[in-house]
Amino acid sequence: MTSHNTPRQTQSRTEAQYAAEQTKIQTYTTLQSSLLSHISTSGYTYNPEAFALTTKILRLNPEYYTVWNVRRRLLADGLLSKRSSGSSPSTVLPTTSATSDTLGSSGSSSSYQEGGETPVSRESPGTEKGGRSGLQLEKTQQDDAAQESSTAQKNDQKVLTDELQFTIPLLLASPKCYWIWNYRRHILSESIFRLPTPVARRIWLEELGLDSQMLTRDRRNFHAWGYRRYVLGMLESKELDGKSMVEEEFKFTTDKIKGDLSNFSAWHSRSRLIPRLLDERQAGNQERRSFLEEELAFIHDALNVGPEDQSLWFYHQFLMASFTPGNEQYAIVTDFSTTEKIDHLAQEIAEIKELAEDYDDVKWIYEALVEYTVTLGQLRKLENEEETDLRGWLGRLRKLDPMRQGRWDDLEASWKL
């Protein structure tokens, strides 16, 4: 119903194809109705047969979100150890009430709503805290309890890693399926309050590795980049005995960019890491200035080889925030005097003009020249020559990029030259 990159079939199915398709439908719907009947007779009580059915269905159709939910409920009911009432907040893992009698009934949704908490949330990792007290209990209780607990942990560790293994081939086949990513998120969050922290941490680190691999396969995968931010946030959190990983991650974006300058996702990530990076380095004014210089040099090198790449220009704009009135929120250097801003702007404009000599038909160059000159005009009065340049560049834009004529009209109208 939402197909992408699938060629249109012009021929109708042959008889053999039709028959084969009916067999596939038969297999699929039989699995589906078997699972439904399991649920309607025994709810979400763990049953190996029902669990195996979820495996089969999800391999055929990883988009079937309800079956992922069934699998979570079955896991919680039978495969994973039962957690004592004190070992975790009830909202972390919604338990399904016995009244759930159909596949669709969501008896547990009310517990989510009452709690008003998210089972896993990057913003509030504190919701996982209960699990830690469960682990600490183990150290203080008597030996047999500890023994039992450690067996339970070993079991849980195996169950959770098996679940992660199960989803890897599905993820490789459907890297843009939200539900697979969500399911892994759920399993990982279980590891935090079921396993000793070092063990859980190792699992999360492996997840970061997997995510890196996914980004090697598809450098722009939106899901993988978002998921990465989430995994990093957890790896940095108290829950996993974490500390900041901003330096490593900044380096990750450098590597990604060096491998492929057009990776806007990596440039974006870099722009979001920089404020934290500088804060954590406790960078002073001087350090911030040299950092900005280095980044400008980095982007200039990139622009020199790929000026038609809009990713680079968006990042360039980001760096220019330090010289642009009204963009203080994104500024790397926050204490530039007006004179310094003017000097830097003029210098950037000069660099880009040079670029225009080598690539005179790249519209991005003229867009940048126009934008930074207009910014310059906010800091001091433009000279006649500069105004003439502006008009000339706008003319180039109209010619090179006629699709956005309306934008150039509005731009010209906004000038009070």
Partner 1 sequence: MPGNNFSSLPDELQLATAAHVKYIQSLDTRKDEYEYWLTEHLRLNGLYWGLTALHLLGHPDALPRNETIDFVLSCQHDSGGFGAAPGHDAHMLYTVSAVQILATIDAFDELETRGKGKGLVGKFIAGLQNRESGTFAGDEWGEEDTRFLYGALNALSLLGMLHLVHVDKAVQHVAACGNFDGGYGASPGAESHAAQIWTCVAALSVAGRIDLVDTDKLGRWLSERQTPSGGLNGRPEKKEDVCYSWFVLGSLEIIGKTHWIDREALIKFILGCQDTEKGGISDRPGDAVDVWHTVFGVAGLSVLRYPGLQPVDPTYCMPKSVIRRVLGK
Q: Of the two residues 153 and 317, which places its CB atom closer to partner 1 in the complex? A: 317
Q: Does 361 bind partner 1 (CB under 8 A)?
A: no
CB of 296 to partner 1, least distance (A): 16
- What sign for the dihedral angle of Cα 397, 400, 401, 405? positive
Q: Of the two residues 33 and 150, which places its CB atom closer to partner 1 in the complex? A: 33
CB of 174 to partner 1, least distance (A): 12
DSSP reduced 3-state for 187: helix
Which one, of 70, 80, 69, 78, lies nearest residue 46 by Cα? Answer: 78
Question: In the range 58-97, which residues lie near partner 1 by CB under 8 A?
Answer: 60-61, 63-66, 69, 72, 94
Q: Which residue in 298, 317, 387, 400 binds partner 1 (CB under 8 A)?
A: 317
What is the rounded distance in angstroms from the CA atom of residue 307 to the CA atom of residue 301? Answer: 10
Residues in contact with partner 1, counted by CB under 8 A, come to a total of 79
**Side chain identity, residue 263:** N
Q: Of the two residues 18 and 205, which places its CB atom closer to partner 1 in the complex? A: 18
Question: In the range 297-316, which residues lie near partner 1 by CB under 8 A?
Answer: 309-311, 314
CB of 65 to partner 1, least distance (A): 6
Helix axes 143-173, 178-194, angle to 10 degrees: 170
What distances in angstroms separate CA 144 from CA 141, 195, 359, one per listed residue? 8, 18, 76
Largest CA distance in the chain: 87
Q: What's the Rg (C-alpha) of the chain? A: 28
Q: Which residue in 330, 351, 359, 412 binds partner 1 (CB under 8 A)?
A: 330
Q: Of the two residues 182 and 304, which places its CB atom closer to partner 1 in the complex? A: 182
Q: For residue 304, what are the contacts with CB-CB under 8 A and spacing of at least 6?
A: 355
Contact 319, 339 (CB under 8 A): no
What distances in angstroms separate CA 360 from CA 346, 394, 395, one per listed residue? 20, 13, 13
Residue with tokens 């249109």: 8
Question: In the range 127-156, which residues lie near partner 1 by CB under 8 A?
Answer: none
CB of 417 to partner 1, least distance (A): 18
Q: Which span (179-187, 205-213, 279-287, 292-300) binds partner 1, by CB under 8 A?
A: 179-187
Q: Which span (1-9, 148-156, 194-202, 379-387) binds partner 1, by CB under 8 A?
A: 1-9
* Exposed / middle / buried, residue 140 (Cβ in 10 Å: 0-12, 13-18, 19+): exposed
Q: Which residue in 7, 16, 143, 144 binds partner 1 (CB under 8 A)?
A: 7
Tokens at 411, concatenated:
């731009």
Number of residues written out for the chain: 417
What is the rounded distance in angstroms from the CA atom of residue 359 to the CA atom of residue 296? Answer: 19
CB of 142 to partner 1, least distance (A): 36
Tokens at 312, concatenated:
């680079």
**Side chain identity, residue 254:** T
Q: Which residue in 85, 284, 357, 406 binds partner 1 (CB under 8 A)?
A: 406
CB of 139 to partner 1, least distance (A): 30
Q: Does 198 bind partner 1 (CB under 8 A)?
A: no
Question: In the range 215-274, which residues lie near partner 1 by CB under 8 A?
Answer: 220, 222, 225-226, 229, 262, 264-265, 268-269, 271-272
Helix axes 222-235, 178-194, angle to 10 degrees: 10
Contact 235, 193 (CB under 8 A): no
Q: Of the two residues 1 and 350, which places its CB atom closer to partner 1 in the complex? A: 1
Q: Does 3 bind partner 1 (CB under 8 A)?
A: yes
Q: Which residue in 56, 185, 289, 380 binds partner 1 (CB under 8 A)?
A: 185
CB of 63 to partner 1, least distance (A): 5
What is the rounded distance in angstroms from the CA atom of residue 36 to the CA atom of residue 264? Answer: 44
Question: In the range 100-119, which residues lie near partner 1 by CB under 8 A?
Answer: 102-106, 108-113, 116-119
Q: For residue 273, what are the contacts with CB-CB under 8 A and spacing of at least 6?
A: 246, 249, 250, 253
CB of 240 to partner 1, least distance (A): 18
Q: Which residue in 82, 173, 178, 325 binds partner 1 (CB under 8 A)?
A: 178
DSSP reduced 3-state for 232: helix
Q: Which residue in 50, 74, 120, 257 binds partner 1 (CB under 8 A)?
A: 120
Q: Of the two residues 35 and 355, which places its CB atom closer to partner 1 in the complex? A: 35
Q: Does 407 bind partner 1 (CB under 8 A)?
A: yes
Question: In the range 366-405, which residues lie near partner 1 by CB under 8 A?
Answer: 402-405
